Amino acid sequence: MIDRLFFSSLSRRRLLTATSALAFAALVTTMQPSPAFSADTPVEGGDITFLIDSLGDTWIPNNSAISSFQGHIWGHVTDKLLYVDADGKVSPWIAERWEQNDTATEFTLHLKSGVTFSDGTPVDASAVVANLDIWYAGRKKEGINPIGLFPKTYDHAEAVDATTVKVIFKKPTLGLIPTLGYHGSILISPKTLAQPATDQADLSKTSGSGPYVVESWKEGDFVKLVKRKDYNWGPAAVGQTGPAHLDSITYKLVSEPSLRVASVQSEQADVAYNASPQELVTLQDDGFTVATPRYLGFVNGLAINTKLAPYDDVKVRQALQSGINRQEIIDTVYTPDWKLATSFIQSNVPGATDHSDLLAYNPEKSEKLLDEDGWVKGADGIRTKDGKALTLTLHSNPYLATSKSVDELIAQQLGKIGWKVNIQAYDVVTFGEKVKYGGPAIPAYEVTRSFIDAGTVAGILTNANNGENWFALDERDAKLNELRDKIAGAASIDARAPLLDELQKYILEQGYFIPRTQIVQRIYVQSPKLKNVTYNGIGYASYYTAWKSE
């Protein structure tokens, strides 16, 4: 009978796969990390597994999700020209020194010598020029995008000699220097950059100059990095320039947050990324290291659409500002590791000033403002004016896992004052399509955005110079226009600081931006054995300096 034949052959094949799977399992269990010594001195060797919720879409360096998941891998495989630490301080890395002309249109970078990409190509001036060019322009026909945040004022760059690069801009570009330490500005071998898009998409064909190289990878599954033994050009700011301590880092995709955390708890892995905040307290009690680095950027909050009624009314915006209990958000959704917002930019950004008094929870004030403004509470507790209900639609930001929970809590808080809050949660795709700053049905846009230089804020305030026009003000607010132009044209950081302070106060007073909390977009739960992990200005954990103690 045919069917019996079918069965027996099936079971034989099945048996074969079963035994090979068994052999694989045995192999894995014998590959235990090597033993280590005392706690404070670095231990050489060891392997770690980092559980991550996504490995992004494509590995074409320019197109990859450098700002979210893939940045972890790029941070170990590649170097940058400059280093930016968690406080926004810029220091040398591949570029040892740099100069600029008086108008900030010409920059000269002096490179370290002896640096090589893992394919053997030197990291010299011509390699840097090739990178600058592709960051600025991409190769759009082939599907290689430009780096979105690279200054659009770029004109060209030239190699003066093997270790000197001159970068020329069409207009003053103070932002270049911090941008070179930003996550998008990763140095890739010119040989890789010359490859067509389909080859660039194969991570194993990409060479950087970082302390680790890609050993193997599988799409949607894992990336395994191994130490590069001849590496000796690390950023001095992290206190180490030689090769890394850990032999290998495996980034493994595990999409469930609870599984990632439980695996670290049961010592099956060393790091769990993006754990649910609820679990952090118990994890800390159990001795796990919880890291919640804050990136440099805007706080998590709402950019209000001032064109859309009733948010064209400053009193309604101010009622909103004082109607949100930010402490309750931290108590309920987050843990004490989260910080209250003190402005609309994170408090660790150089230039951020403390305006907590403007962000205090004061429901009485909100009720009073709304009463004065003619919003009357109905029987259902919802306020109306001229027959229109006081509504607010929140579009939960899909890039922040806790966004929905915060929205639900804000809905409860505002509900007490008389708001009717609707929550709309879209996936990443639909969100990108439908939710835009100042959109006709978008009263508030939830911001999650990092930047490396506070000067960036000048570009979001209005629609001048291709600005993002976050509050749909266009050029209607003269005071804002004035501050914008002064900040963009500031010749030095010191001259800019008081302007930034004034801007922060004004935006919060006007209720243009409603902060929720300071943002922690990257949460790490680590095995207590893992020591000396460093975090950079964008909240990325670097295991270059780390080791594993016993």
Partner 1 sequence: MNSAYRAYAAKRLFQAVVVILLAYVLTFVVVSILPGDPITNVLRNPQSGFSEEEIAEIIAAQGLDRPVLVQLWSSLSAFLTGDLGISMRSHRPVATLIGEVLPSTLILAASGLLVALVLAVVIAYGTRFLPKRYGQGLLRGFPSLFLSVPNFVIGLVLIHIFGFQLGIFRVIEPDSFWATFFAAIALGIPISAQIAEVLIANLDHEADQEYAAVARSRGLSKARLFARHLLKPSSLPVVTVIALTIGELLGGSLITETVFGRTGIGSLVQRSVSTQDLPVLQAVVSLAAVVFVVVNLIADLVYPLLDPRVKLLGTPQRRPVTADDNSSGIPTAVTS
Partner 2 sequence: MTFATYNSTRLSFWSRLTSDRLPFTVALSFLIVAMAIAWSLAPGLFTSHDPVNGVPAHKLLGPSLQYWFGTDHLGRDLYTRVVYGTASSVSSALIAVLIGVFAGGLIGLLSGFLGGWVDTTLARLVDVLLAIPKFLLAVIVVTAIGFDTTNAAIATGVSAVAVFARVMRSEVIKTRQATFVEAAYLAGGSRWHILWRHVLPNASRSVLPLAVLHFGDSILVIASLAFLGYGDPPPASDWGLLISIGKDYLKWPWLVYAPAFVTIATVLSVNRISRWLRKTD
Out of partner 1, partner 2, none, what residue 384 binds, judged by CB under 5 to 8 A for its kind, is: none
End-to-end CA distance of the chain: 60
Of 59 and 544, which has the nearer Cβ to partner 1? 59
In whole angstroms, how close is the CB of 345 to partner 2 at the nearest point? 27
Q: Give the pair of three-digit tokens for residue 414.
A: 């505002």
Of 174 and 264, which has the nearer Cβ to partner 2? 264
Q: At what angle do helices 478-488 and 493-509 cross, to 10 degrees?
A: 160
Of 65 and 401, which has the nearer Cβ to partner 2? 401
Sign for the CA dihedral angle at 39, 41, 46, 52 comes to: positive
In whole angstroms, how close is the CB of 518 to partner 2 at the nearest point? 20
In whole angstroms, how close is the CB of 231 to partner 1 at the nearest point? 28
Out of partner 2, partner 1, none, what residue 218 binds, judged by CB under 5 to 8 A for its kind, is: partner 1
If we measure between CA atoms, which residue out of 370, 372, 373 comes closest to residue 381? 370
Chain positions contacting partner 2, by CB under 8 A: 256-259, 262, 276, 278-279, 282, 328, 331-333, 396, 404-405, 408-409, 411-412, 415, 423-427, 430
Out of partner 1, partner 2, none, what residue 422 binds, judged by CB under 5 to 8 A for its kind, is: none
Q: At what angle do helices 403-417 and 363-372 cross, to 10 degrees?
A: 60
In whole angstroms, how close is the CB of 51 to partner 2 at the nearest point? 14
Rounded Cα distance, 206 and 216, in Å: 12
Out of partner 2, partner 1, none, what residue 221 binds, judged by CB under 5 to 8 A for its kind, is: partner 1
Out of partner 2, partner 1, none, what residue 404 binds, judged by CB under 5 to 8 A for its kind, is: partner 2
In whole angstroms, how close is the CB of 410 to partner 2 at the nearest point? 11
Out of partner 2, partner 1, none, what residue 327 binds, judged by CB under 5 to 8 A for its kind, is: none
Out of partner 1, partner 2, none, what residue 351 binds, judged by CB under 5 to 8 A for its kind, is: none
Out of partner 2, partner 1, none, what residue 336 binds, judged by CB under 5 to 8 A for its kind, is: none
Residue 25, φ and ψ in degrees, nearest 5: -60, -40
In whole angstroms, how close is the CB of 425 to partner 2 at the nearest point? 3
In whole angstroms, how close is the CB of 357 to partner 1 at the nearest point? 29
In whole angstroms, how close is the CB of 279 to partner 2 at the nearest point? 7
- Structural contact between residues 73 and 225, judged by C-beta atoms closer than 8 angstroms: yes
Of 111 and 149, which has the nearer Cβ to partner 1? 149
In whole angstroms, how close is the CB of 452 to partner 1 at the nearest point? 12
Sign for the CA dihedral angle at 286, 528, 71, 297 comes to: positive
Of 114 and 196, which has the nearer Cβ to partner 1? 196
- Structural contact between residues 83 and 542, judged by C-beta atoms closer than 8 angstroms: no
Of 13 and 97, which has the nearer Cβ to partner 1? 13
Alpha-carbon separation of residue 33 from 148, 242, 267, 546 (angstroms)? 40, 22, 12, 15
Residues 6+ apart with CB under 8 A from 205: 192, 195, 199
Order of strands, sheet of 388-389, starting from the edge strand that comes earlier in the sequence: 376-377, 383-385, 388-389
Out of partner 2, partner 1, none, what residue 425 binds, judged by CB under 5 to 8 A for its kind, is: partner 2
Out of partner 1, partner 2, none, what residue 141 binds, judged by CB under 5 to 8 A for its kind, is: partner 1
In whole angstroms, how close is the CB of 540 to partner 1 at the nearest point? 13
Give the three-state DSSP class for 289. strand
In whole angstroms, how close is the CB of 193 to partner 1 at the nearest point? 15
CA angle in degrees (0–180, nearest 5) for 479-480-482: 65
Radius of gyration of the chain (CA): 26
Rounded Cα distance, 98 and 114, in Å: 18
Work out whether strand 248-253 and strand 391-396 pair parallel, antiparallel, or are unpaired. unpaired
Q: How many residues does the chain have?
A: 550
Out of partner 1, partner 2, none, what residue 257 binds, judged by CB under 5 to 8 A for its kind, is: partner 2
Out of partner 1, partner 2, none, what residue 59 binds, judged by CB under 5 to 8 A for its kind, is: partner 1
Of 320 and 409, which has the nearer Cβ to partner 2? 409
Rounded Cα distance, 183 and 154, in Å: 18
Chain positions contacting partner 1, by CB under 8 A: 1-3, 10-11, 13-14, 17-18, 21-22, 24-25, 28, 49, 51, 57-60, 63, 65, 67-68, 138, 140-141, 143, 145-146, 148-149, 197-198, 200-202, 218-221, 252-256, 259, 262-263, 266, 268-269, 399, 427-430, 432-433, 447-450, 466
Rounded Cα distance, 123 and 188, in Å: 9
Of 368 and 420, which has the nearer Cβ to partner 2? 420
CA 451 to mean position of chain CA atoms: 9
- Structural contact between residues 93 and 81, judged by C-beta atoms closer than 8 angstroms: yes
In whole angstroms, how close is the CB of 133 to partner 1 at the nearest point? 17
Of 318 and 521, which has the nearer Cβ to partner 1? 521
- Structural contact between residues 525 and 268, judged by C-beta atoms closer than 8 angstroms: no
- Structural contact between residues 139 and 61, judged by C-beta atoms closer than 8 angstroms: no
Sign for the CA dihedral angle at 89, 95, 99, 100 comes to: negative
Rounded Cα distance, 86 and 88, in Å: 6
